[in-house]
Amino acid sequence: MFPQTYSPSTDFMQALNTLPEPQRSIEMARMLRWISEAPRSESVGVPHLGNATQEPASSLSSGFMATPPSAPSAPCPVSSNETTPQFDSEASLTQPDIGDLHRRLKVVEAAVDIPPAKRQKRRTKFQAEVDPSMPPVVRSTTGANPAVLKRHQLDAVELDIRRYLGTQVRNQLYAGMKYKVGDKMPCLGYGSKPEDPNLLWPDWTQDINAPPNRLLQMRAAMMVLEHEKRFPENIPEEYREKWLNSAVLLELARISWPHLKQVWNAQRQEALDGGAEKKKKASAGRRSEKRRTRASQMRSAVGDFCVEHNLDELVVQPELVHDDWVGEEWSCDEDGTKNSKWRDSLFATGKLTVDERDEEDNFAVLEIKRPEWMDLEVWNWYQSIHAKHMKKVAANGKPGSRPGKRVDIGRTSSLLPKYEPYDFMLDDIWVKEELPKSPDWERRPGLPAGVPERIARIIKPSL
């Protein structure tokens, strides 16, 4: 959100004052031209370019509606060669000129929503029960900035418009600092900034309202407004007044800002630790995805078990399967590193051949780790029904039915479950030594719903 003191004219002038010449004069001339070319009767949010003599090269792509093949798709920032003849007469502004600039910029403020101060936390009000037979109450969005509305508050066309304009604004943010996805994200103070008067670098060490950051956001909004004015067919006529104004585009720029800063932070972290944190997150993401896949397989396995023992699958399945109950599939060969000691441990179980152990490029074997809180008998039952189900799937010849071997070498996973299992499923030693370290753990005595004692003894024979 904008701070309560946000003033576009004041802030933009302050941002200009931080720039060296001739870039300051270029940006000032661009702003003057943007405002002065708008007719008095027209909203300043959508500039009127009239018979503009400049036809800048395109850096936008129209992803919402088709544009004429011969027309350029977007304006690029004005080059120094094109701008110099304009600002030579405008760079040395007189005091009346400065006053007139302030007056015109004040008009721009009318198109920018000044948001309220930072919201303070309030106690949650009691909500009466909603009658499901009644249609949902939709609050009025009149006067609200559509860029910040929820999806259900916009129609299908507006969702496409917001997606389209958001992409165009983000592309202009990239163009303003000459950044391409995959390249190093530029930042003031980190590296030498090229001597290009049209190049704007952000300062990621400061907040979103810092002068260089506001300047880049304003530039992106202006360029998109100019492009959409020249190609009005991109936005349906009945939506232009609502969406094509500086308040909306500036908000879309601010929405994109955290992602851009996240890219810079990730690149800085990678430079500091050699990519260790990035590899750690990638590895955690892969294991999380493997848990979800195995949990899906386990649900099907429990379904087969329910059919075999005349149990209610809809009741029993959610009681016995959760993503973090199925263990973790682990590889010590991740990131292209061959771990010979780990492979020897897998081979020692007798479940791998010599050729599988020494495989270089296609080693499709993972270690499966038991959750440290789970009783070994319960774990073995889960593995038995999972193996039985996967054999049935493989016999049917379904795609992806042969995911590779999973080998248990006796190691455990320390991942604690988000949903506490039943007490009979817990390992006795873990209960004595580790459970006291988790004071928020809720004990669950008894048996799962739909699971009689005879079935519980199949799951855990020593019950």
For 242-288, how does the pLDDT look when each residue is reduced to its tens digit (9 = 90+)? 999 888 999 999 999 999 999 999 888 888 888 777 777 877 788 88
3-state percent helix, strand, coil for the chain, nearest multiple of 5: 50, 5, 45
Higher pLDDT, residue 336 or 128: 336
pLDDT at 424 over 60: yes
Residue 440 has pLDDT above 50, yes or no: yes
Q: What percent of the chain has pLDDT over 90?
A: 39
* pLDDT above 90: residue 3: no
At 203 the pLDDT is: 93
For residue 46, what are the contacts with CB-CB under 8 A and spacing of at least 6?
38, 225, 228, 229, 240, 241, 244, 245
Q: Is the pLDDT of residue 239 over 70?
A: yes
The Cα–Cα gap between 365 and 331 comes to 8
Q: What is the mean pLDDT of the chain?
A: 76
What pLDDT score was predicted for residue 34?
Answer: 60
24 Cα distance to chain centroid: 34
Higher pLDDT, 365 or 309: 309
Query: Which residues, 6+ apart, have CB-to-CB distance to 338 below 8 Å?
Result: 360
- Whether the predicted pLDDT of 132 surpasses 90: no
CA pair distance 214, 14, nearest whole angstrom: 10
Amino acid at 241: E
Q: What is the pTM of this model?
A: 0.50
| Nearest residue to 245 (alpha-carbon basis) of 303, 165, 160 | 165
From the list 161, 316, 150, the residue with the least C-alpha distance to 224 is: 161
- List the domain boundaries for the chain: 8-115+146-273, 286-459
pLDDT tens-digit readout, 158-194: 999 999 999 999 999 999 999 998 899 999 988 888 8
Is the predicted pLDDT of residue 129 greater than 80, yes or no? Answer: no
Q: What pLDDT, on the 0 to 100 scale, is given for residue 337?
A: 56
Cβ partners under 8 Å of residue 211, min gap 6: 11, 14, 15, 17, 18
- Cβ–Cβ < 8 Å for 267, 185: yes
Of 208-212, 299-303, 353-357, which range is least confident? 353-357
Over residues 43-78, the pLDDT tens digits come to 434 344 344 344 444 445 444 444 444 444 444 443
Q: How far apart are CA 226 and CA 118, in angstroms?
A: 32
* Chain segment 376-410, per-residue pLDDT in tens: 999 999 999 999 998 888 887 665 545 577 888 88
Q: Is the pLDDT of residue 361 over 50?
A: yes
| Mean pLDDT in residue range 101-130 | 48
